[in-house]
Amino acid sequence: MNTNQLKYFISVAQTRSFSAAAEENYITQTAMTQQIKALEDDLGLKLIDRSTRPITLTSAGTSFLSDARLILSRLNDARQRALQASNGVFGTIRIGYIKGYERSGLSDQLRAFHRMVPGVLLMCYRETSDKLANGLLKGDYDIIFTWDSTNLKASEEYEAVQIEKARLYAALYASHPLCQREYLERIDLKNESIIYMSPSELSDNYGDSQFMDLYHKAGFHPQILCRSTDVESILIMVASEEGISIMPDYCIKKINNAEGLVFLPMKGNEEVEEIHAIWKRNSSDPALLHFCELLKQPDSYNDIY
């Protein structure tokens, strides 16, 4: 028994014709008949009832058909895994991502990579920016997706690729007077209570200072009611009319039920948040290197989305 015989048998079973199966597999009808006969002799069973028109499977043939398909499928999977292992594209990638980024297109990229390289296990961890940066430094993560890692991006030990520029949106409760606007500017928030979304649990971080500068450029210091790293909690507080918030579009674009909430874009070229993928430059992990190369060439995913 060999894989060609299994393939030919499946073809005969599907077409219910030796001649059609032969044409489908680019061999002569005589060769097809001989291969099926050899398979039957090897098994010691009749798989095909040749007395009917069109031909049919015997009870043994019907039972063997599902097993033949399973055998070929498992052989193909084994071949693919062996090929990936020989190419070094095998293993585990530990991926850290900033809180809120689970609503982004990250899952699309990971799914596309998994389909391309199924031998690599993608482990995901959701954290604040300070814990992501610390985890990357300690080796807890192989790569992180974050927006508050200026020191890492500036370090020669790490490589960073900008994944996206996310537009910032104001999250308002539905009865707020500003909801009638098409967009908002920072100055519009002068008298608002701000539920501040921070990337970090640390009070002194680059992300906070970056966006505080936007308030200061608008000519005022914001009235910070509280700060949080949790998107869901912030949205609940906004819907409860405690205050308003500012957050990137990836936090809101997959919200299915936004009852009690209104989201308006913030106007201005600086009203964006840059997301970077960051990893150690000297990594020798083939799986990680392959993943990072694809991040640098996002078009590589397009055929799989």
Of 149 and 94, which is predicted with more confidence?
A: 94
On the question of pLDDT at 208 being above 80, the answer is no
| % residues pLDDT > 90 (the chain) | 65
253 and 230 together in one domain: yes
Look up residue 142 and give its DSSP letter: S
Last residue of some domain: 61, 86, 111?
86
- Count of domains in the chain? 3
In the chain, the amino acid numbered 5 is Q
141 and 236 together in one domain: no
- Beta partners for 92? 121
157 and 197 together in one domain: no
Last residue of some domain: 34, 60, 86?
86
What CATH number did the domain enclosing 248 receive?
Answer: 3.40.190.10
182 and 261 together in one domain: yes
Average pLDDT along the chain: 88
pTM: 0.67
Residue 24 structural domain: 3-86
218 and 78 together in one domain: no
248 and 176 together in one domain: yes
Of 226 and 116, which is predicted with more confidence?
A: 226
Which tokens hold the place of 257? 């039920």
On the question of pLDDT at 190 being above 50, the answer is yes
Give the separation between CA 188 and CA 7, rounded to whole angstroms: 69
Give the separation between CA 252 and CA 231, rounded to whole angstroms: 9
146 and 192 together in one domain: no
179 and 268 together in one domain: yes
What CATH number did the domain enclosing 47 receive?
Answer: 1.10.10.10
226 and 279 together in one domain: no
144 and 174 together in one domain: no
Other Cβ atoms less than 10 A from the Cβ of 27: the count is 15
State the DSSP string of 209-222: HHHHHHHHHTTS--
User: For strand 143-146 and strand 91-98, is the pairing parallel, antiparallel, or unpaired?
Assistant: parallel
Strands, E assignment, 147-289: 158-173, 193-197, 223-228, 245-248, 261-265, 272-280
Residue 158: CB partners within 8 Å, gap ≥ 6? 136, 152, 278, 279, 280, 281
Q: pLDDT tens for residues 36-64?
A: 999 999 999 999 999 988 999 999 999 99
The pLDDT, as a whole number, for residue 80 is 66
